[in-house]
């Protein structure tokens, strides 16, 4: 008896699909850059060149959905972390490119730097339900023209799990490809292993960033998978109704798929989303809301409807600091996508609407993920769990403390045993200094940062990456 949910019924899924097709064909999508519009026009798409808007017909969407792979594996430097998609159980990813870091030692809220990415990857490496790394902060100490390269290569050096990030323009492409080939071993290995992927966010509403899209189309030659993550916000960059915002996000994803599949048929794509909504009292952006969770779950269902690997944002909080509000909002925004079977839920580590990284929050989020995983696993009703004989043997007024099943349960997975919650007596809790979820997680972070690096890259590969970055820093200015 697993705990599952269905948010959209079959008729509602079809309505979202039809609304998205209507948006694409009648409203159209704006494509900046040099590559997408000529590609679309050459394939018979109606294009308003002056406004840079393409009107995508339903049959072109159907063709893209047909050529996009329905399954593939996100590889990893350590093959133990390879992750087949679609997944048999939901797993998690780091949140990405926040602005701020809560310094682990000083408690100062400051802009992120490359060292923060390194430290976060070392912690994320130990988060057993985390399968996909993403630089959680921008490296403000790296030169802006080559910054995403510094972020990408730092991430790769400090985790052996699947690594995902972004590029900003075509000029950065050769440096990234050279570095990824150095890590993978060759150009063929890079294409075949899928150790690395790209995150791509259309600009809501219905617009594609030309410099980034051009870079991603060029990177198709390297075979890098793309996670397409539209981010329309109810009431600002998206319509104020949940249904219409879901349809808009879906249309943006389909429009990206059309271009990627026309350019490189069969390129692996991941259907994803990261919606938000406006605070109608203050105008602030919100992510840690029930509405965000509902939209994420609905869009996972749309990805499943298309037969694609389907992921979502989640584990999100608008809390200004770590604590109970963050835990509540992260559980609230994760559970809907989990219940509909999201392959990967993106959100470990950050609060303040995806803007501030706390290292201890990575481990707290992993703990939350375990709680929720146990919840969705439901109740095991196999014959071994039928304990009628023990009930009859104990009888009225007895107890089950000494039964074989109780002893076995203490070592079983049916009852989850938390890593960072203290559940003994009040007196012992006082004696130990009142340990909390966060204090226990902080202690573990300190241990991880003091320990040797797991799965380090060979020195010669690190040297090659550093040489590439030095050239990029000088040549991209």
113 part of a folded domain: yes
| Reduced 3-state DSSP string for the chain | CCCCCCCCCHHHHHHHHHHHHHHHHHHCEEECCCCHHHHHHHCCCEEECCCCEEECCHHHHHHHHHHCCCCEEECCCCHHHCEEECCCCCEEEECCCECEEECCCCCCEEECCHHHHHHHHHHHHCCCCEEEECCCECCCCCCHHHHHHHHHHHHHHHCCCEEEECCCCHHHHHHHHHHHHHHHCCHHHHHHHCCEEEEECCECCCEECHHHHHHHHHHHHHCCCEEECCCCEECCCECCCHHHHHHHHHHHHHHHHHHHHHHCCCCCEEECCCCEEECCCCCCEECCCHHHHHHHHHHHHHHHHCCCCECEECCCCCCCCCCHHHHHHHHHHHHHHHHCCCCEEEEECEECCCCEECHHHHHHHHHHHHHHHHHHHCCCCCHHHCCHHHHHHHCCCCCCCCCHHHHHHCCCCCCCCCCCCCCCCHHHHHHCCCCCHHHHHHHHHHHHHHCCCCCCCCHHHHHHHHHHHHHHHHHCC
321 part of a folded domain: yes
Mean pLDDT of the region 79-85: 98
- Give the count of domains, the chain: 1
Measured between alpha carbons, how far is 162 from 348 in angstroms, rounded to an integer?
Answer: 15
443 part of a folded domain: no
Angle between the 242-263 and 10-22 helix axes, to the nearest 10 degrees? 60
Q: What is the pLDDT of residue 414?
A: 94
- Residue 461: how many CB atoms within 10 A of its CB? 17
Examine the pLDDT at 206 and tell me if it is beyond 90. yes
Q: What is the pLDDT of residue 216?
A: 98
Mean pLDDT of the region 245-255: 98
Measured between alpha carbons, how far is 327 from 307 in angstroms, rounded to an integer?
Answer: 32
Token readout for 435 is 């340990």
Examine the pLDDT at 7 and tell me if it is beyond 90. yes
**Are 365 and 348 within 8 A, CB to CB?**
yes
Task: Note the maximum CA span of the chain.
Answer: 83
262 part of a folded domain: yes
- pLDDT tens-digit readout, 125-148: 999 999 999 999 999 999 999 999
Band the pLDDT of 394: cuts 50, 70, 90.
very high
225 part of a folded domain: yes
338 part of a folded domain: yes
Q: What is the pLDDT of residue 260?
A: 98
Nearby residues of 328 by Cβ (< 8 Å), 6 or more positions away:
none
Band the pLDDT of 4: cuts 50, 70, 90.
very high
Q: What is the pLDDT of residue 32?
A: 98
Give the residue numbers spanning the domain of 126.
Answer: 63-377
Examine the pLDDT at 348 and tell me if it is beyond 80. yes
Q: What is the pLDDT of residue 175?
A: 98
**Are 33 and 213 within 8 A, CB to CB?**
yes
Average pLDDT across the chain, whole number: 97
What is the domain-level CATH number for residue 320?
A: 3.20.20.480
For 55, 61, 68, 269, 431, the CA distances from 218, given in Å and listed in that order, are 23, 21, 18, 15, 60
Q: What is the pLDDT of residue 1?
A: 73
For 14, 26, 35, 44, 453, the CA distances from 54, given in Å and listed in that order, are 23, 10, 13, 10, 49
Mean pLDDT of the region 429-435: 96
Output phi, psi for 344, to 5 deg: -135, 135
Output phi, psi for 86, to 5 deg: -60, 155
Q: What is the pLDDT of residue 373?
A: 97
Mean pLDDT of the region 39-55: 98
Examine the pLDDT at 477 and tell me if it is beyond 90. no
- pLDDT tens-digit readout, 285-337: 999 999 999 999 999 999 999 999 999 999 999 999 999 999 999 999 999 99
Q: What is the pLDDT of residue 8?
A: 98
361 part of a folded domain: yes
- pLDDT tens-digit readout, 147-176: 999 999 999 999 999 999 999 999 999 999
- Residue 32: how many CB atoms within 10 A of its CB? 16
Token readout for 91 is 């797993």
Whole-model pTM: value is 0.97
Mean pLDDT of the region 189-204: 98
388 part of a folded domain: no
89 burial (CB, 10 Å; 0-12 / 13-18 / 19+) is exposed
């Amino acid at each position: 008896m697993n705990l599952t949910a269905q948010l959209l019924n079959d008729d509602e899924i079809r309505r979202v699909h039809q609304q998205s097709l209507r948006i694409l064909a009648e409203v159209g999508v704006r494509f900046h850059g040099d590559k997408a519009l000529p590609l679309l026009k050459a394939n018979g798409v109606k294009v308003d060149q002056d406004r840079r808007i393409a009107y995508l017909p339903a049959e072109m969407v159907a063709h893209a959905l047909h050529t996009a792979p329905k399954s593939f594996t996100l590889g990893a430097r350590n093959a133990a972390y390879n992750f087949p998609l679609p997944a048999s159980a939901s797993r998690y990813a780091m949140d990405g490119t926040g602005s701020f870091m809560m310094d682990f030692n000083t408690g100062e809220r400051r802009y992120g730097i490359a060292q923060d990415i390194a430290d976060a990857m070392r912690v994320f490496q130990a988060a057993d339900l985390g399968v996909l790394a993403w630089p959680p902060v921008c490296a403000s100490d790296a030169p802006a023209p080559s910054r995403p390269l510094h972020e990408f290569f730092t991430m790769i050096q400090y985790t052996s799990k699947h690594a995902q990030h972004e590029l900003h323009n075509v000029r950065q492409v050769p440096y990234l490809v050279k570095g990824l080939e150095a890590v993978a071993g060759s150009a063929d290995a890079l294409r075949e292993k899928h150790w690395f992927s790209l995150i791509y966010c259309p600009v809501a509403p219905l617009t594609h960033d030309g410099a980034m899209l051009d870079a991603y189309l060029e990177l198709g030659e390297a075979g890098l998978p793309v996670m397409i993550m539209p981010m329309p916000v109810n009431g600002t960059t998206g319509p104020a109704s949940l249904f219409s915002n879901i349809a808009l996000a879906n249309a943006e994803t389909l429009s990206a798929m059309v271009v990627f599949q026309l350019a490189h048929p069969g390129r692996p794509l991941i259907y994803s989303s990261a919606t938000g909504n406006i605070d109608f009292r203050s105008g602030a952006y919100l992510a840690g809301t029930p509405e965000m969770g509902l939209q994420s779950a609905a869009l996972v269902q749309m990805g499943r409807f298309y037969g694609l690997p389907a992921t979502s944002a989640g584990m999100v909080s608008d809390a200004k600091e770590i604590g109970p509000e963050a835990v509540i909002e992260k559980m609230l925004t994760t559970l809907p996508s989990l219940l509909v079977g999201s392959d990967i839920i993106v959100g470990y580590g950050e609060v303040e609407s995806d803007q501030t990284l706390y290292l201890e929050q990575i481990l707290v989020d992993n703990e939350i993920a375990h709680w929720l995983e146990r919840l969705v696993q439901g109740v095991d009703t196999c014959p071994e769990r039928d304990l009628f004989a023990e009930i009859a043997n104990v009888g009225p007024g007895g107890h089950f403390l000494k039964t074989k099943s109780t002893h076995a349960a203490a070592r079983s997975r049916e009852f989850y045993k938390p890593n960072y919650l203290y559940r003994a007596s009040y007196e012992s809790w006082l004696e130990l200094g009142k340990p909390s979820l966060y204090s226990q997680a902080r202690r573990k972070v300190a241990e991880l940062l003091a320990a040797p690096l797991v799965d380090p890259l060979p020195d010669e590969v690190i040297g090659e990456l550093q040489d590439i970055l030095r050239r990029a820093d000088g040549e991209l200015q």
